[in-house]
Amino acid sequence: MLAAEALRQLGKPYVWGARWQDAPKEFDCSSFAQYLYKKAGLAIPRVSIDQAAEGRRVPAKRSTLMVGDLIFIRGRSGRYNRKFPQGIGHVIVVTGPNEVVHAKYKKVRGRDGGSVIRQTLSRILKRKDITVVKRYL
């Protein structure tokens, strides 16, 4: 259900600071994760750094990841604390064996923008800025 709901949101606009209550009209990365989990019947924190602090840690390996796992990316801009001094700036939702969906920021014609997009898990796992992966389900 979580993966199917994520796929239904493809193309929805990214808006920084969007809350789950703004869904499904618009999302930021953490409100997207929060919205999906709420639809699945589980409450998770609002912001990505708080989401990263909860759940069970799992290895960032394709063979161990499951639908619903959350991949947290180091922040260039984002939130910082003692547990994550490098910060958490983005969260990505695993939706299949080699698929992720996330609300991704992107400059569009010089303006803030972006949307909910699908990418391959293998591409995401090549990133050097993965901070932690968490499992809530």
Q: What does the pLDDT look like over 42-52, one tens digit per residue? A: 999 999 999 99
Q: Which domains does the chain have, with CATH numbers?
A: 2-135 (3.90.1720.10)
> What is the pLDDT averaged over residues 18-31?
91
Q: Which residue type is seen at 125?
A: L
The pTM of this model reads 0.94
| Residue among 132, 105, 130, 125 at smallest CA distance from 116 | 105
